[in-house]
A and B are shown apart, each in its own frame.
Chain A
Amino acid sequence: MAHTDGARGGGSRIPVGELRPGDHVALLHASDEERAAVLRGFLLGGVAEEHKILYLVHAEGPDGPRELLRECGLAALPGASEGQLQVLRPADLAQPSGELAPAGPRDPAALLGSLRAAAERARGEGYRALRVTGDLCTALCDGRDASRLLRYEALLAEEFDHGGTLAVCQCDARRCDTAALDAFASVHPRSVEVDPLVRTAELVVVRTFDPPGLRIEGVVDTASHRHLRDALQSVASVRGDVRLEMSGVEFLDLAGLRLLMTFARARAARHCTVELTGVPSHLLHVITLIGWDRTPGLRLGAAHAC
């Protein structure tokens, strides 16, 4: 199932578990929970793939690996080798060998050179690739540095075509204005998201965070009711209202629709609602036909053409 439509911060989405060397993607998040969930996948995936992992701190951020793991809700990084994860300021990038003297923390060309050197070092240390992430938000929100940052991103994009490094550029959408977000999105061909809760040939269900909920794509029938029920269960304890985004639903049978209604009732019992958005118009017709539009806790958003 392709993740193609309506991705925030880029033309398409890629699950964090599918990132490969050469990928350069945006993590445009609006909640700490979302950032932590993606970074968890980024770190665990890095260990599994035997990648060197660099976390670049521009202004504010974790002081070291321990702090980073805590932010991501991880007690440890099982299987990681000594020094596999490093938290650095960009200026520190060249420090271990001292070969490169960075011209400044925000100089695009210098930073790129440092990154390239770090990638070579990582390979020298026996890692299969380098994966880098960092929060670019602070720079973006400073109008003077935004253009420099974007130049840097453009250079990065070229660099990553060669395939030895992968990068996840974080941006906290709550801290940037629309113009900055658009600029950020324009230089990232894809955005990264959490790994799907469900990924079968027929059905993909992805946890979403702003607002909290699920994105349901593909086919729900007898073969996948169990998957949908489990996915709904995973957001059952979310505080507040939940949104189920359904514009990618190709087919949903009556029993599957009932699972959504049962979920809404359970939310209503906790004084919360479930909003269904992008519901195919024929399913809105069916919901109304049965009288399920009066289900407690259910809110129906705009329809989606068949």
Chain B
Amino acid sequence: MPADRGEPAGFVHHACLYGSDAEFLAMAVPFVRAGLAAGEPVLAATTPANIELLRAALGRHAHALDTAETAYFGRRPVERVAAFLGYHGRRARPGVRTRMIAEPLWQGRSARQIAEWQRMESGLNLLLAALPVWMVCPYDTRTVPPGVAEAACATHPARLDGGRITPCAAYRDPADYAASMPLPGPPPPSSAVRAGPTAERAAVRRFARDRATAAGLAGERAALAVLAVHEAADHLLASEGARVALSAWEEPGALVFELRRPGPPDSPVPALAGYVPPGAAPGAEDGLWLARRLGVCLDVRFHDGESRITLRIAGRGDAEAL
């Protein structure tokens, strides 16, 4: 398997299902040692306990290991992708592969968050496809919620157990996988406020401003909500002749905007659009990235011939924004 060698290749993405400290170390220690020996940048983004175990096992080699406490290395999927790209951007050297141990945090997450993280795990196969990165995602089978370990075999093309690589028979195409995930919340209630369809961005902003104000958001938070909705709509309106229908409603903890664009049937918005942060040159998905980044959760679907973006924005009770 090419991933074994030091030759830079495209993205290699393995899951490691471990049930003990020894099993974690059986994968991590040779993975890190081989990378450091080859002069590759190596990152371990995992739990503090695992970082401690790994450092102890590596001995003096631990000095060369980059580490990050995984809960804070990208709080949400869109930030996680930016964290990976940021690490790669800072550490990568021409002609040399980068290695990452990237253990997502699963405990205590809501069902919606788990679905989002699983979708991102799958999406990384597309999003990072061009990067010479070998990423291993450890899953602690002692603690992950039911179903999460099984899903790892659908979101990673292969498993790495100790030093042994086994292809995952259950691996699924990321776009299909994303489309199969449950919606992040119920459809608009009958009480939802609606507007459009419209091609006028000013009308979209007015609608967003009115709904944000009605939901008790003011000042900077209202302005950010308007910007997020505008950027999501702007992405949909980029197609020739496009119009968007808007609805908005409140949930406990969130103000929800749904934007629907009929067609065009041959160019739906990809479910994984807007996960990569803006780069040096303008990108078609930059605005969608900003909407993802400013919202709590942004879901993209193509259903019944229409692209649909559902954007959840933290409500006025979000204590971090008080």
Contact = CB atoms under 8 A, between A and B. Distances in A.
Interface in A249-306: 251, 253-255, 258, 280-282, 285-286, 289-291, 305-306
A71 interface: no
A290 B282 CA distance: 13
A306 to B, nearest CB: 4
A223 B294 CA distance: 23
A254 B286 contact: yes
Given A219-B202, A289-B293, A253 B234 contact: yes
Interface string A193-227: 00000000010000000000000000101110000
Contacts of A306: 219-220, 222-223
Contact of B286 (A251, A255, A280): A255
Given A221-B230, A222-B234, A253-B231, A281 B202 contact: no
Contact of A290 (B202, B234, B278): B278
Interface string B254-280: 000000000000000000000001100
Contact of A254 (B202, B224, B231, B237): B231
Interface in B221-248: 222-224, 226-227, 230-231, 234, 237
A285 B202 contact: no
B201 interface: yes
A221 B234 contact: yes
B290 interface: yes
Nearest to B225: A282
Nearest to A255: B282
Interface residues of A, number: 20
A285 B286 contact: no
A253 B277 contact: no
B219 A254 contact: no
Interface in B269-317: 277-278, 282, 286-287, 290, 293-294
A256 to B, nearest CB: 11
A194 B120 CA distance: 53
Interface of B: 201-202, 205, 219-220, 222-224, 226-227, 230-231, 234, 237, 277-278, 282, 286-287, 290, 293-294
Interface of A: 202, 219, 221-223, 251, 253-255, 258, 280-282, 285-286, 289-291, 305-306
5 contacts: A251-B226, A254-B231, A258-B286, A285-B220, A286-B227
